[in-house]
Structure 1
Amino acid sequence: MEAGERFDEHEHDLHQLAWVRDGVLMVSIGDRHWMLPPTLALWIPAHTPHASSAMRTAAHMQGIYLPASMLPGWRDPTVVGVPPLLRELIDHLCRDDLTASARDAAERLVPELLEPAQTFTVDVPLPRDERAVKIAEALSADPGDERDLAAWGRAVGASTRTLSRIFAAETGMGFAQWRSRLRLRASLAHLADGESVSRTAALVGFSSASAYIAAFGQLTGMTPGAYFERMSEMAELQHVVADQRRNDGPGVTYGD
């Protein structure tokens, strides 16, 4: 997928495990948006409408599809860690030369490797009014756009008061809060792609790194650096626990 390339909302009759080998993938389901670096994948249950897009750089997507009868208990979208063995299995299932029996055998291994990962989504409810939708689309494309609500009103043909009322009624938050939430969501792709906190803050429109860190902390309870360090630690821990479970066999339980 080229940078910014998007697959509009669609659904599959099969379960999908959405993953990118490199780059950052955003998957959107309703008002929820997941940023997925190569260490994470998203389990998308069959018949779940979703959209996906590559973020600021190109991404090599390798989604796999699994029978709808598999993992009946996994009814909700779920982020999972991607340990080396799962990465190799995804590569194997992406081959075109597998026989039906070889593919079936490989697919049956996938559930053994799926471990839910601790992460969070930055939910950005979208307005429905066509004037506010134009603003949301423009800021999604360029979250660093500094225009205030009065300037946006002139651009879309609405008063500041009207737009303020629309955002409050249709998103549950004021315009400034909504835009900050949108910018925080956009920042995850930059951080996951290796940008510094100060550079990320500037790219998504925060006035300073400290303002960005404060907004990030208010939403997540931690700094951007601590969040991504924790995600890496949790992914590594989940890989270790998954390996231990496979080595020990059934009947062994592990605490959180």
Structure 2
Amino acid sequence: MSQNGHSAVLPIELGPTAMVLGELALADGVRFADHEHPTHQIAWASAGVLTVRIGERQWILPPTRALWIPAGCAHQTASLRGAAMRGIYIDAATTKWAEPTLVSVTPLVHHLFDHLTRLSGRDSIAARLRAEAVLFDLLIPTDVTTLRLRWPEDARARVVADTVARQPADQRTLAQLAAEIGIGERTIARSFRTDTGITFGRWRTHLRIAAALPLLADGMAVARVAGRVGYSTPSAFVAAFSREIGVPPGSYFR
């Protein structure tokens, strides 16, 4: 299910304070096409999982993570397993980060989001300003890596990439996948290195990790996730994830 930008659903009408918040329940699979806002945005869901894509980068956001999106930055937003998305918009004159930045949502930050969402225009502007000041101080970037999954431009390599993306657990070798479309393995391998900057093997590892993140965010056990994305043992999955991301999968969303 695709929609246009959601500012029409959550209108942005900043008043005398720097931040406006609203709530929007999203069904599973709802996707907002590329759009941008004249304000900064914090993409966050109090329940469920959001995904945000900006160019080649994708962020998976359970309730413990949020993404700062600078004003004017084109992005796509989607809901996984349904999401209670908060519309958190911030005056573009407010300086925080000039680039998309992943932040931790601690229990205290969560409570402040809730508090500011409940406050209405009848409440004291001074009270809102105090809460906003505390919240801005508590927004701290997380120390995790975000994968950049670049698709190959070569049409033949893209067929292989699309095939693997549809089923990350596919165990066929590059030679087998290339033979299926009548192309030599070396040709496809060269296209992946040229177009994506990495080998096909590492590209498939990145794809599998990207496919694993929504499952991990949804609370699925690491052992089950490993099998779902093509690893024969949980230890092999943990090793690949830790090597590419820098932390084990069980720690990524904590």
Tell me whether the two structures share a fold, i.e. TM-score over 0.5.
Answer: yes
Contact conserved, 1:20 with 1:62, CA < 8 A, in 2?
yes
Change (3 A) 1:2 1:205: farther
Identity within the alignment, %: 42
Q: Which amino acid aligns with 2:113?
A: I
Separation in 2, partners of 1:12, 1:160: 44
Partner of 2:214: 189
Report the counterpart of residue 3 of structure 2 in structure 1.
none
2:9 corresponds to: none
Structure 2: give runs of 5+ residues left out of the alignment: 1-25
Secondary structure at the aligned position of 1:180 is classed as: helix
2:144/2:246 contact within 8 Å kept: no
Q: CA RMSD in A?
A: 3.0
| Aligned counterpart, 2:12 | none
Of residues 99-108 and 39-48 in structure 1, the stretch that sits farther from structure 2 once superposed is 99-108
Match of 2:243, SS state, is: helix
Question: Contact 1:32/1:121 (CA < 8 Å) preserved in 2?
Answer: yes
Structure with greater proportional strand content: 2
Q: What residue number does 2:50 align with?
A: 25
Give SS of 1:59's match: strand
Count matched residues.
Answer: 226
Deviation at 1:183, TM superposition (A): 0.5
* Maintained 8 Å contact 2:52/2:58: yes
Alignment-derived partner of residue 177 in structure 1? 202
CA drift of 1:204 comes to 0.9
Q: Using the TM superposition, give the Cα deviation of residue 155 of structure 1 relative to its aligned residue in structure 2, in angstroms.
A: 5.8
Quote the residue 1:76 is aligned against. 99
Cα distance in 1 for residues equivalent to 2:90 and 2:223: 41
The answer to whether the Cα contact below 8 Å between 1:93 and 1:103 also exists between their aligned partners in 2 is no
Are 2:96 and 1:90 aligned?
Answer: no
Structure 1, unaligned runs of 5 or more: 233-256
In structure 1, what is the Cα distance between the partners aligned to 2:181 and 2:48? 34
**TM-score scaled by structure 2?**
0.75
Structure 2 CA distance for aligned equivalents of residues 223 and 86 of structure 1: 25
Q: Distance in 2 between matches of 1:74 and 1:192?
A: 25
Q: Normalising by structure 1, report the TM-score.
A: 0.74
The structure-2 alpha-carbon separation of the partners of 1:104 and 1:18, relative to structure 1 and needing over 3 Å to count, comes to: farther
Q: Secondary structure at the match of 2:144?
A: coil
| Alignment pair present for 1:106 and 2:128 | yes
> Alpha-carbon deviations, 1:82-124, whole Å to 9, x = none?
23443344345556x9339868973744423322222221222
| Aligned equivalents of 1:26, 1:7: Cα separation in 2 | 10
Q: Does 1:38 align with 2:68?
A: no
| Inter-CA distance 52–144: structure 2 relative to 1 (3 Å threshold) | farther
* Worse-superposed segment, 133-142 or 179-188: 133-142
Structure 2 counterpart of 1:69, which letter? Answer: A
In 2, the alpha carbon distance for the partners of 1:60 and 1:19 equals: 8
